[in-house]
Amino acid sequence: MEIFFEIHKDLPKESPGGDEYTRQAWQLLPPLSQPNILDIGCGPGAQTLELARLTDGHIKAVDNHQPFLDHLQAQATALGLLDQITCLNQSMFALSFPEATFDVLWAEGSIYIIGLVEGLKQWHSLLKPGGYLVLSELVWLQSQPPQAIQTYWAENYPGMRTLEEVLNLFPGCGYDLIGHFTLPEKGWWNYYLPVQARINDLGQRYHNNPEALTMLNNEQREIDMYREYHDWYGYEFVALQKSS
């Protein structure tokens, strides 16, 4: 785990995406005045900072890895955005806010941790009536992917659904779909290029540490799989409105 965090320490983003895609997702929502936003699994908080620039609202940014929260706190301070952002160390499995607290829940690359359906259900009560949930989720974009990538994701994200399956499950969980888009390849490389640079550095430093090399090889494999099979899967940004 230590090596994992050494690979990921101080990276700008911890999932495929980027400021322009956070903006694009925000624009799927109607204009909101002083929204109360909860950013769940915020990581180092690139999207939290962008949300603060996009709105006149307040964002509670929640993660259970304190170094990510410290990074976000430092960035928010440096950028003069701290009056809009509160960093909180909490688990997404047990969010401690009263019912109907938030206008918007934001979960970029994080709802998979609790599970898509479980997150949709557990977090539902935190939203005010008619509130919004924006998430990004890994999906199959085409049917019958090659065996190698099917096997890879069966091992690494067994719950992965097709885009159609994902889009169809929201009404049953109490949400209406209001918009969605597939993250372009550029958004993936926003994430993978800094990870690749870190793998290259740490590969030299840990060349005689088998445990570290296993972890680095796992990260390298994810990037190599994306390079070869990116037409078959992607990250879908989805904007939902609480319906019931």
Ligand X SMILES: C[S@@+](CC[C@H](N)C(=O)[O-])C[C@H]1O[C@@H](n2cnc3c(N)ncnc32)[C@H](O)[C@@H]1O
Least distance to ligand X from the beta carbon of 17, Å? Answer: 6
Least distance to ligand X from the beta carbon of 69, Å? Answer: 9
Q: With CA atoms as reference, report the closest residue to 235 among 196, 154, 180.
A: 180
Tell me the residue nearest to ligand X as measured from the CB.
43
Beta strands 102-107; 36-40: pairing state = parallel
Identity of the residue, 4 or 130, whose beta carbon is nearer to ligand X in the bound complex: 4
Least distance to ligand X from the beta carbon of 6, Å? Answer: 14
For the chain, the C-alpha Rg in angstroms (whole number) is 18
d(CA 137, CA 161): 9
Identity of the residue, 35 or 44, whose beta carbon is nearer to ligand X in the bound complex: 44
Least distance to ligand X from the beta carbon of 149, Å? Answer: 19
Q: What is the DSSP string of 147-199?
A: HHHHHHHHHH-TT-EEHHHHHHSTGGGTEEEEEEEEPPHHHHHHHHHHHHHHH
Identity of the residue, 46 or 202, whose beta carbon is nearer to ligand X in the bound complex: 46
Identity of the residue, 23 or 65, whose beta carbon is nearer to ligand X in the bound complex: 65
Contact set with ligand X (CB under 6 A):
13-15, 17, 41-43, 46-47, 62-65, 68, 91-93, 108-110, 113
